[in-house]
Each structure stands twice: as structure tokens, then as C-alpha cells.
Structure 1
Amino acid sequence: MGSEWQHGLFGCFDNFGICIISYFVPCYTFGKNSEAVGDSCLLCGLAYLVPLLNIFAALQVRGKIRDQKGISGGCLSDFLYIICCPCCALIQEAQEIQGPGGMSMARQ
């Protein structure tokens, strides 16, 4: 585990489509990120709308993405990213999933 994220935390505009979707409908992006790591898209998308539950769910999904991709980091850094810049963290996760060999946000 020593890899880095493909896109930086503030690389939101690397994929303008994901950026716009995530800004206006973050629960959709979160649901698709959750689905990519094996969780329920609908349940996680709804969980993202509930205060405090959204933080817990976001920590779980971000951790799973890091584990699957072999990205270094920990729960504390994930927590700080999610609290300080939730939209940027969400977009970074979506771009990581969609990266080379990753899934797209579109229904397949």
C-alpha cells in the first residue's frame, strides 16, 4: 500500500461531468461510488442525505476505495477530507473509480 490517488483532492475539474453531477446531486455520485465497491447504490445514496450517517458512510466507502486501489492513507486523513471538503473528496473518489480500467458513472 503505497500508491497515490490518480487525481488530487482539488482536481475536481479533471472530469467536468462528474464535477457538475456531484455538485448538484452528490447523493447520486456517492451511490455510484458505493456500488463500485460492492455496496447498495440506493441505500448509500439515501444514507448520504442523513447528517452524521453520511460521514460514517463516506468513511466506509472511501476506505474501501483506498483498499481496492492500494492507496496509502488512513481513517483520520479520510475524515479530514470528508469534513473539510466533502464535494472534492467525493469527486476524487468517483474519478479514481472511473480511472483507467474503472467503471463509469453511467448505467451499464
Structure 2
Amino acid sequence: MYPAKPSDAAPAPATGIPVPVGGGSQWSSGLFDCFDDCGLCCLTCWCPCVTFGRVAEIVDRGATSCGTGGALYALLAYLTGCQWIYSCTYRAKMRAQFGLPDVPCCDCLVHFCCEPCALCQQYRELKARGFDPVLGWELSAQHRAAMYPPAAQAMGR
């Protein structure tokens, strides 16, 4: 599925950024479509904390910075090797925000078995929905708002 049209979205209360409402949405790309973007694939393979940090900032709508999310991910990876537990929570948040199905299996299993592919898929999904994770939340939200202006409100008396 491609970015939501303004008619398929409702403005988020705090930001005015259109966010999809309801379920029935599908992932814009498959879990194993990693090689569609070789740059992203290489970045995620060699430094998954960067990809995760960018995804986390957009999913948390700026509440978690890219640096903070990425550093925590790297710290968990270094100390425990269980960073996938942290990253699967962001997949669940993202699925809830966009009404995405938990395919091919539950979020934790996807991240446990295919962490780099899962991170790439989430990143591609954000891009397909009009966000640019490289820009961070503020600039990406402004860019997306310009692409999808809120629907005109009816004038009342």
C-alpha cells in the first residue's frame, strides 16, 4: 500500500500530521525485500543502531531522538545481545499506528530471526507513508504535512 491519502487519514491531535485511521492496511514491501535499497541494506547490516534510531524517532513522533534510540539499541546489543526485544516493541507500535498486520509472524519472532530485514522493512514502510527518517521527526513531519494537507473543514455558524 502507498502513503495514505488525506481522505484516509485523521489529523494527529498534537501535531496536525495526518495519520491513518483503522485497520486493513498492508505493508508496502515484504520482509525480505531488503535488497531493493542496497544503501539501506548495507547501513543496517553494518550499523543497525542507526536504522533503528531513525525508525524509533519517527514512530515515537520525536519523543525519542535518533541518537538516544540508536545508543540504547547499541548498548543492549553490546551488553546482552537481546536488542531485538527492544526493537520488536517499535514494530508493534508502528503496526498499531498504521493498522498493519503481524505478518509473517509475531513481532518478537520477526525481530529475533530476521532483525536486519525487519528494521529495513520498517524503514521502507515509513518512507512509503511519506516520512523521511533521515530528516528526523520535525523536518519529516513538516515535509509530510506539506505533501498531505489536512482536509478542508466545513464552515459552521
TM-score range, shorter chain: 0.7 to 0.9
Spell out, residue by residue over 1:12-32, the C-alpha distance to the aligned partner (whole angstroms, 9 max, x if none).
Answer: 012222111111111000000
**Aligned AA (1:61):** Y
TM-score (norm 2): 0.61
> More helix per residue: 1 or 2?
1
Shift of 1:2: 2.3
* 1:48 aligned residue (60, 65, 73): 73
If asked which structure has higher relative contact order (CA below 8 Å, sep 6+), I would say 1
Report if aligned partners of 2:73, 2:86 keep a CA contact under 8 Å in 1: yes
* 1:20 aligned residue (38, 42, 59): 42
- How many residues get paired? 107
Match of 1:91 in 2: 120
Higher alpha-carbon deviation: 29-38 or 14-23: 14-23
Instruction: Name the Cα RMSD after superposition.
Output: 2.0
**Structure of higher CA gyration radius:** 2
Give the percent of matched residue pairs that are identical in Structure 1 and Structure 2: 35
Higher alpha-carbon deviation: 63-72 or 4-13: 63-72
Unaligned runs of 5+ in 1: none
Higher alpha-carbon deviation: 37-46 or 19-28: 37-46
1:8 aligns with 2:30: yes
TM-score (norm 1): 0.85
Shift of 1:96: 0.6
- Distance in 2, matches of 1:44 and 1:59, equals 13
Q: 1:27 to 1:57 in 2, by over 3 A?
A: same
Match of 2:94 in 1: 65
Report if aligned partners of 2:55, 2:123 keep a CA contact under 8 Å in 1: yes
Higher alpha-carbon deviation: 97-106 or 57-66: 97-106
- Distance in 2, matches of 1:52 and 1:23, equals 15
